[in-house]
Structure 1
């Protein structure tokens, strides 16, 4: 793989959630990304083949999202919280950010179809996030940032 690949964009978080999904040309998925339920073991992130569901700390806002492909799982990111480190099985090899309204045009080529990965999900809240959220009369921007790091499973 050589060098890391990275894409960045903004996602419109609605109803405290957003997700990642891969194309499912044969409609093999048992459930949609929005229907993946959170558990006590993973209260903020759920994963199924080609799908990820994320629970945000805030109801409706715009968040910055980074998708990256790395040769190996790296350590933490200073100032960020690791929400989850989970096995992820790719379906089509192209993962895309989704909201309840549909795809957000933020895509990462995982360079492998139907391949196993380790997915690390990091989140960072911007200082004064809670007060900015409460004071906002419109959809707030920049309250949270997310990094989704995919690395091939060993």
Structure 2
């Protein structure tokens, strides 16, 4: 049975309908965000980087990062989007970054050493943030849960 190793909830600034998580060691990321970002699929996988397309143009979303020792069950709840990806993270940490706003101040720790990960992403609040972002800068309306576990 999979065990939860860590769980962290952080705000992430979204702009131009997107944000990314990339290896904190950017020498391992051949195409740094936002290069190659296209508003489109919910999740796009690049080497050392994961791009997310949001429901709203400019807002602050809630990002929940779960690290597991093996593949967990999908998070309970109703989700508007769900996708799977893989990422190699040599630093053991990820940097969240907006399209124009740049990186968030604190890295997200996955492990003490680098390794390859599988990841499941689910999101809710996308339709609501699309409406609210047309009239202001909402906070915490859109929510992401990202589950990471070691790739075997």
TM superposition score normalised by structure 2: 0.81
Identify the match of residue 62 of structure 1 among 60, 63, 66: 60
CA–CA distance in 1 between the matches of 2:5 and 2:79? 20
Q: Does 1:98 align with 2:109?
A: no
Residue 44 of structure 2: aligned partner: 46
Where structure 1 has 5 or more consecutive residues not aligned to the other structure, the ranges are none
Residue 34 of structure 1: aligned partner: 34
Residue 6 of structure 1: aligned partner: 7
Q: How far apart are 1:18 and its partner, in Å?
A: 0.6
Q: Residues 39 and 8 (structure 1 numbering): CA distance in 2 closer, same or farther, change over 3 Å?
A: closer
| CA RMSD, Structure 1 to Structure 2 (Å) | 2.7
Q: What secondary structure sits across from 2:132 in the alignment?
A: helix
Residues 22, 51 of structure 1: 8 Å contact kept: yes
Residue 125 of structure 1: aligned partner: 125
Q: Residues 72 and 29 (structure 1 numbering): CA distance in 2 closer, same or farther, change over 3 Å?
A: same
TM superposition score normalised by structure 1: 0.80
Q: How far apart are 1:34 and its partner, in Å?
A: 1.7
CA–CA distance in 2 between the matches of 1:143 and 1:3? 25
Q: How many residues get paired?
A: 149
Once structures 1 and 2 are overlaid, which stretch shifts more, 110-119 or 123-132? Answer: 123-132
Where structure 2 has 5 or more consecutive residues not aligned to the other structure, the ranges are none
Alpha-carbon deviations, 1:89-131, whole Å to 9, x = none? 1121111211132221343322254421111111011785454
